[in-house]
Amino acid sequence: MRVAYQGEPGAFSEGAVLALFPDAEAQPCRTVRLVFSRVTSGEADMGVVPLENSQAGSVNETYDLLWHSTLVRMVGEVVVPVDHALLGLPGARLEEIKRVYSHPQALAQAEEFLSSLGVEVVPVHDTAGAARMVAEAGEPDQAAVASVRAGSLQGLAVLAERIQTYPDNFTKFAVIGDVDPGLGRPNKTSLVFAVHDRPGSLVGALQAFADRGINLTKLESRPRRGAPFEYLFYVDLQAAGDDTDVAGALEEVREHTSMLKVLGTYPAWRERDE
């Protein structure tokens, strides 16, 4: 199986691929959009993309691509513990670091530690890519925030470990594709909708799930591009899409929405792993 992921070898995304598909041919991609493109074109059988971090929140680009895609959907998820390290050249000293590179999400997750150093932070496309950049530059005052494994692959030294602000740091990755990868029985559904501009529309949409005892584990609003001051609502349900109660709820939700799309129905990682 060919599985595309955003990042370079040593990235947390690659770890997510290996956690689900240990025998897969992992295909590194520079961007999340390229992962979607490879799955859509058939160059990859599946894709693994970052969806949400327990500290920094949702990855908006992934949700936007899921909303607009007509050929792929969410078919699985995996939650990966994320421990960030500050990596520098062998012999580099922590107090001499002036510039730190990493993915914007990683920089946000380690903001408190980096602020205490008083360094310049520079966002780049990937944590493992940041480690490679530091290794190639060969400047002792530059460092990267990435995994210890990424540092090992690039011959970098660990200047500090577990530098994220909150020790319990996890990233949820979505598996995208157009076929069932055989990860288990679906018991979770993700969707997006926009409600009509009239009183009670949002309450009515959510009440449809409450009346049927369907638990919502995520409800997040985001601006709707191209429609100023209108919003999309992203929702996760603890139920499979083919459940009769879910089907009934979605029919009722459509009465209160101007747009509704199921992003995928799939096995929840934690529930499947217990």
pLDDT per residue rounded down to tens, the chain (274 residues): 999 999 999 999 999 999 999 999 999 999 999 999 999 999 999 999 999 988 888 999 999 999 999 999 999 999 999 999 999 999 999 999 999 999 998 999 999 999 999 999 999 989 999 999 999 999 999 999 999 999 999 999 999 999 999 988 999 999 999 999 999 999 999 999 999 999 999 999 999 999 999 999 999 999 988 888 889 999 999 999 999 999 999 999 999 999 999 999 999 997 444 4
Q: In what helix (H) or strand (E) does residue 266 lie, and over which residues does it extend?
A: strand 257-266
Q: How many distinct structural domains can be found in the chain?
A: 3
Residues 6+ apart with CB under 8 A from 112: 165
Domain co-membership, 250 together with 195: yes
The pLDDT score that the predictor gives to residue 138 is 97
* Matching residue, tokens 């101007």: 258
**Does one domain contain both 57 and 155?**
no
Active-site residue identified among 12, 113, 127, 171: 171
Residue 74 has a pLDDT of 98
Q: How many CA atoms lie within 13 A of 38 on its CB side?
A: 23
Which amino acid is located at 104 in the chain? P
Is 217 catalytic? The answer is: no
Does 96 lie in the same domain as 48?
A: no
The tokens of 18 are what? 């290996």
For residue 122, being part of any structural domain is answered with yes
Residues 48, 173: one domain?
yes
Question: pTM of the predicted model, to two decimals?
Answer: 0.89
Instruction: Give dist(CA 90, CA 43) in Å, integer.
Output: 38
Q: What is the pLDDT of residue 230?
A: 86
Q: Is 113 a catalytic residue?
A: no
Do 111 and 227 share a domain, yes or no?
no
DSSP 75-96: EEEEEEE---EEEE-TT--GGG
Q: Where residue 132 sits, what CATH number does that domain have?
A: 3.40.190.10
Structural domain including 57 reads 2-81+169-177
pLDDT at 48: 98
Residue 183 lies in a domain: no
Q: Two tokens at 209?
A: 């799930």
- Answer whether residue 151 is part of any domain: yes
Q: Strand, helix or coil at 265?
A: strand
> Given this model, what pLDDT does residue 17 score?
97
Please report where in the chains the tokens 């499947």 appear, as a residue.
272
In a domain, 182, yes or no: no
Q: Is residue 232 part of a domain?
A: yes
What span, in angstroms and rounded, lies between the C-alpha atoms of 144 and 147?
Answer: 9
Same domain, yes or no: 20 and 96: no
Quick one: 123 and 258 in the same domain? Answer: no
- Residue 274 has a pLDDT of 44
75 shares its domain with 90: no
**Which of 12, 21, 36, 173 is flagged as catalytic?**
173
Is residue 265 domain-shared with residue 195, that is, in the same domain? yes
pLDDT of residue 204: 96
